[in-house]
Structure 1
């Protein structure tokens, strides 16, 4: 039985509609649909005119599918735990009831009937069994349904693991293909050519990321194309550059008491990072202990700093469209066992990487919530 059929059986058995977004069946169906769509796009991307854009969509589709699969496996695990607890509770009640029935079992022997209390005890036992039998039958039917549900849950999980194994492999292949396509790309316009000597001098003289970004903001740029668009209308509309969970806010001190003028986001290993707005790449590369950093200029006097990446794409001076991949987070691709373990532990498991996000206007940091939509409170 394939995953779709198993999900339908689960929905019919439990009375859960497939449209209910948080049911194991619906989550499994959603994950399969996303994986299938991503697989089709991966095949189409091999001949796409803009492979970078196509592969970026593919990686995003696989990331969404893996998140749906995590949620589905989590729900399956929770439901199995819930049923296990119910079985343990009911087994004690059933054992107690059977003990009572054994003690009250009617005795039809002549000795019981002639005994002073025999016929009365015999009658009472018969009445009790008659009253209890329908309730026991109802309990037995309910137990049968739960046992069937457990069986289908396990089959749902087994089928999901087959799909998941393929998805993990193809997601990694899509990341590899994207990295190669970014290296091969030559069609982006260039706003300026970087002066490596001036850039090296600025890096060597900057003791903090803030000092480096401030110096970069005032570094002269020779325009080779028309000016960047005005950003005033874009405030509060940017999508997040990476999927993740908010950890620390603007100027919020960490455990060591250090307060940085930006956001910190927890992400999964190898998550794709993209630009939320058309931008010029002003800098990319390693800097101090921030890992790889990419600094984008989405508009005049505005810089977007993204730090903590493992791999960065593009060349300094290039102008990239909104949604363009600018790099990948670090970490190792999870194997099947690790993925399942993290999924069943909860949604926070596996968020091993951190991306630092900073926005600067006129050389000074500002709260990123001014720019991003759905900013965390």
Structure 2
């Protein structure tokens, strides 16, 4: 019976050592006093000098990067195709990183919740941990029976071994459970640290991409201003005209009739629709025979100056203009006793807004209860209205491509009908119209966009 007794004692000793170390570390982490503020040492001064030097180096690096970016954009010159490509690609990168940041924040929230639960579980069983730790330490220190003993000693050893054999399995089970919880807590903290590092990296990339996008947008608008004379005067007149009408259809009609740049844009949209319709009619037979349908590839040509295809033919191809969660759908309640004529997407502050389709800008500015409003003429009698942004970065009469950056969200809702119920979050409102009548935009969104909105 000496061998079983020795084995049991060794098991208890090993288990006690491993769990004891984990338990002591946990207890120390929970009860460690806050460090006292000490006088600034020479080492601390040296460290601060190093930090200051690092900050200066970072500032210098940022200035060099900015100069490089300006030179790169200047090299694009008047090459509209390259500028459009850079704009759309960079805007897509911004939205992709926005999505990654949202997903990382969601994962961190879940992980932090699990960590709190694990710590709460261990805290609630502190007495059990102390009891197990003490028992394992006592068992680990118990001296094994001597090799040569008197009969009385042998009997006592046998009785001790029998008692230990009954106690150790339960003790070991409790110890392993505690060790498992501590191991999970350590793993969770490592995962959280990795997620935070990745989140910091994504945020750095987002800032870099936003800087690049801002520079590209500024260059696009500079080139637009050089082509269009009296741009500021047109924008001022557009806002004045918008105050003379009371609804969206009246605004569209007023712009396209009374404003020179908007009227010119409407004419181009109508002509482009006629040409696209004739072109599609010729290809319809061949496409029908081959079973071919338009795909995302139709938008690849960045040099185009008119819509790639008819708006009616773009069903199932258009991307949502912003990352967010759909909070109101077409035909539902608008929150003020009416019916929703478009969709509403709750977004993060500062989110990038891109165009869902090709089209000409017929209005860009504030309008009544919609906040900042952007209206695109997509041709064929179709108009796309986007409202709720804080800042619009395109001008009336400008042709924009699908996926091109056109606006930025603010920090709160700008649309009056949504402000009452979602004041703490910016909301983008999107509406499609055909010949002045609101229509359901659902069939136009690309696969899964209508079901799972990014962000």
Q: Normalising TM by the smaller chain, what interval?
A: 0.5 to 0.7
Relative to its length, the structure with more helix (as a share) is: 2
Aligned CA-pair RMSD = 4.3
Partner of 1:358: 431
Q: Which residue of 2 aligns with 1:173?
A: 211
The SS at the match of 1:205 is: coil
Aligned residue runs from structure 1 range 176-195, under 5 A? 176-186=214-224
Equivalent residues in 2 for 1:275-354, closer than 5 Å: 275-331=355-411, 352-354=425-427
199, 203, 207: which is aligned to 2:242?
A: 203
- Mark the runs of 5 or more structure 1 residues left unpaired by the alignment: 1-38, 333-348
Q: Relative to 1, partners in 2 of residues 1:65 and 1:141: Cα closer, same or farther, differing over 3 Å?
A: same
Task: Please give the residue correspondences for 1:1-377 in structure 2 after superposition, counting only pairs within 5 Å.
Answer: 46=73, 47-48=75-76, 49=79, 50-89=82-121, 92=125, 93-95=128-130, 97=132, 122-132=160-170, 135=173, 138-139=176-177, 142-143=180-181, 145-160=183-198, 162-164=200-202, 166-186=204-224, 199=238, 202-213=241-252, 215-216=254-255, 221-222=263-264, 223=267, 226-228=271-273, 229=276, 230-331=310-411, 352-373=425-446, 374-376=449-451
Structure 1's 247 and 224: CA in aligned 2 closer, same or farther, altered over 3 A? closer
TM-score of the pair, normalised by structure 2: 0.56
Inter-partner Cα distance in structure 2 for 1:130 and 1:197: 86
Kindly state the Cα deviation for residue 304 of structure 1 after the two structures are TM-superposed.
Answer: 0.6
CA–CA separation in structure 2 for the residues paired with 1:99 and 1:197:
81
CA contact (8 A) 2:349 2:409 kept: yes
The 8 Å contact of residues 269 and 350 in structure 1, kept in 2 or not, is answered as no
Query: 2:349·2:411 contact (CA, 8 Å) conserved in 1?
Result: yes
**Distance in 2 of aligned mates of 1:60 and 1:133:** 58
Q: Distance in 2 between matches of 1:286 and 1:95?
A: 67
1:289-314, Cα deviation, whole Å (9 max, x unpaired):
32221110111211111112222233
Aligned length: 315
Q: Is the 8 A contact 2:432 2:438 kept in 1?
A: yes
Give the structure with higher Rg (CA): 2
SS in 1 for 2:383: strand
What residue number does 1:33 align with?
none
Distance in 2 separating the partners of 1:68 and 1:232: 33
Deviation at 1:240, TM superposition (A): 0.8
Q: What's the secondary structure of 1:259's corresponding residue?
A: coil
TM-score normalized by the length of structure 1? 0.66
> What per-residue deviation string (whole Å, max 9, x for no partner) do you get for residues 60-118 of structure 1?
31332243133224324423432442354356254455577799998999xxx98xx97
Distance 2:112 2:349 in 1: 28
Separation of aligned partners in 2, 1:200 and 1:135: 76
Instruction: Give 1:34's aligned residue.
Output: none
CA 1:297–1:351: 2 relative to 1, 3 Å: farther
